Amino acid sequence: MAVRLVSNEVSDLCIGKPAVRSLPPSAATVGDVLAALRRGDAPHLAVLVVDRAAPEKRAVSGKLCVADVICFLCSDGNLASPAVALERPMSALLPKGGGLVRRVEPQFSILEALDLILDGAQSLVVPIRPVGRKKNIHGGAGGAVADFCWLTHEDFVRFFLNSIAHFSPIPTLSIDALGLVRSADAFTVCHDEPGLALLPLVRRALSGHTAVAVVTEDGRLLGEISPASLCACDETISVAAGIATLTVGDLMSFIDYFGSPSDSLVRLIKSRLKEKGLKQMLELMEDELCSLSNSSTSSSSSEDELGGKQLRRLRSRCFSMGRRAEDPEVCHPGSSLVAAMVQALAHRVSYLWVVDEDDYSLMGIVTFADMLRVFREQLLPSP
């Protein structure tokens, strides 16, 4: 069984994978990155490094999403001068030290690639052979990079799920019996804490493919704030302002509105921005809300006039990326490994919150990385 599975190559996981979308060459600042993400239909955009002496030699140095920009705007010094922050170099968004995106070759074995994931790589990027005539399109959502695709934790979980019978009876055991339920303290915040308490947790969630659990004082799970839900919000500046002024519970309600935030919460954010002396953030927030309101008014007259493609893209982002914050995906300690895999894959998340069946208190978290380690241990010894 082990020999048969490990004989698979990375290229087997790349079949049918779309090419990654990249930032346009003109994207030099944080503001350029935000504009490209807003225009696009991809939740992440790749950061390309091109060898000027040999333009055909390209590498992916990172991947960025709206949540990265929001965290950056809320960091020390940037709240008071967000306009200046948006003019900072794009490199300011990339994590120091790198290593979160690793390149693997198509002929690498599944185990070689899996070991990189389990060693902490956030994503793998694989060169793929372009289909038909190679294109190099830059603009709007970023150029279609015809020679790279992403591989994530989800791709490996799907691979093992397709071969689940080979691992019997391990997949039928509970996640508790397998020791997969680990503490969620590093991803947990109380609903009455200030929104700024989220920042280190969201950054951790970005690198760990998880979310931030929002709990009551006695530890019951109320909901979650995920990088995906932040990316699905069009009011990027307003969300950053909300993080700076609201409690976590109020912020969870604010980001659930998807394009039509509560007037009362908007007024509250504006009032607190004035109290904190964050005048520039207030001005940018008002400009953003006015622009979105004008776009909404225009779109109501005729979908064709605005562009049906743009509207469909917006709806797709809302439905595919952002569930309501009050509806996190949960399981119980007695849930089997295979049940947890199927549930997470069905809801396009790479983690499940583990709660008590009686009082819904948060007991921990189980992630795709945890699940993958179980299968790795059943195969050939690690090098």
Query: For position 130, what pLDDT does the model report?
Result: 61
Distance from C-alpha of 206 to C-alpha of 92, rounded to nearest angstrom: 16
Closest CA to 13 of 159, 162, 160: 159
Please say whether the beta carbons of 361 and 221 come within 8 A: yes
Q: Is the pLDDT of residue 124 over 80?
A: yes
Taking residues 89-108, report their average pLDDT: 85
Query: For position 233, what pLDDT does the model report?
Result: 84
Query: For position 305, what pLDDT does the model report?
Result: 40
pLDDT digits (tens, 9 = 90+) for 343-383: 999 999 999 999 999 999 999 999 999 999 999 998 866 55
Closest CA to 370 of 346, 343, 351, 349: 351
Q: Is the pLDDT of residue 28 over 60?
A: yes
Q: Is the pLDDT of residue 138 over 60?
A: no
Dmax over Cα atoms in the chain, in whole Å?
Answer: 65
HEC string of the chain equals CHHHHHCCEHHHHCCCCCCCEECCCCCCEHHHHHHHHHHCCCCCEEEEEEECCEEEEEEEEEEECHHHHHHHHCCCCCCCCHHHHHCCEHHHHCCCCCCCEEECCCCCEHHHHHHHHHCCCCEEEEECCCCCCCCCCCCCCCCECCCEEEECHHHHHHHHHCCHHHHCCHHHCECCCCCCCECCHHHEEECCCEHHHHHHHHHHHHHHCCCEEEECCCCEEEEEECHHHHHCCCCHHHHHHHHHHCEHHHHHHHHHHCCCCCHHHHHHHHHHHHHHCCHHHHHHHHHHHHHHHHHHHHHHHCHHHHCHHHHHHHHHHHHHHCCCCCCCCEECCCCEHHHHHHHHHHCCCCEEEEECCCCCEEEEEEEHHHHHHHHHHHCCCCC
Closest CA to 351 of 205, 214, 202, 188: 205
Confidence of residue 311 (pLDDT cuts 50, 70, 90): very low
Query: For position 131, what pLDDT does the model report?
Result: 54
Confidence of residue 55 (pLDDT cuts 50, 70, 90): low
Contacts of 249 (CB under 8 A, 6+ apart): 191, 192, 214, 222
Contacts of 216 (CB under 8 A, 6+ apart): 190, 191, 222
Percent of the chain with pLDDT over 70: 81
Confidence of residue 122 (pLDDT cuts 50, 70, 90): confident
pLDDT higher at 322 or 68:
68
Q: Is the pLDDT of residue 146 over 80?
A: no
Taking residues 140-160, report their average pLDDT: 77
pLDDT higher at 315 or 5:
5
Taking residues 185-196, report their average pLDDT: 96
pLDDT higher at 357 or 5:
357
Query: For position 343, what pLDDT does the model report?
Result: 97
Helix axes 236-245, 263-276, angle to 10 degrees: 60
pLDDT higher at 308 or 34:
34
- Count of beta carbons in the 10 Å neighbourhood of residue 51: 10
pLDDT higher at 65 or 290:
65
pLDDT higher at 263 or 6:
263
Query: For position 41, what pLDDT does the model report?
Result: 78
Give the amino acid at 239.
V
Percent of the chain with pLDDT over 90: 62
With tokens 């520039």, the residue in question is 280
Query: For position 128, what pLDDT does the model report?
Result: 84
* Tokens found for residue 116: 């990189």
Please say whether the beta carbons of 74 and 245 come within 8 A: no
Taking residues 330-340, report their average pLDDT: 97
Least confident of 118-132, 202-216, 291-305: 291-305
Q: Is the pLDDT of residue 288 over 60?
A: yes
pTM for this model (two decimals): 0.86
pLDDT higher at 314 or 120:
120
The chain-wide mean pLDDT, for the chain, equals 85
Q: Is the pLDDT of residue 102 over 70?
A: yes
Confidence of residue 98 (pLDDT cuts 50, 70, 90): low
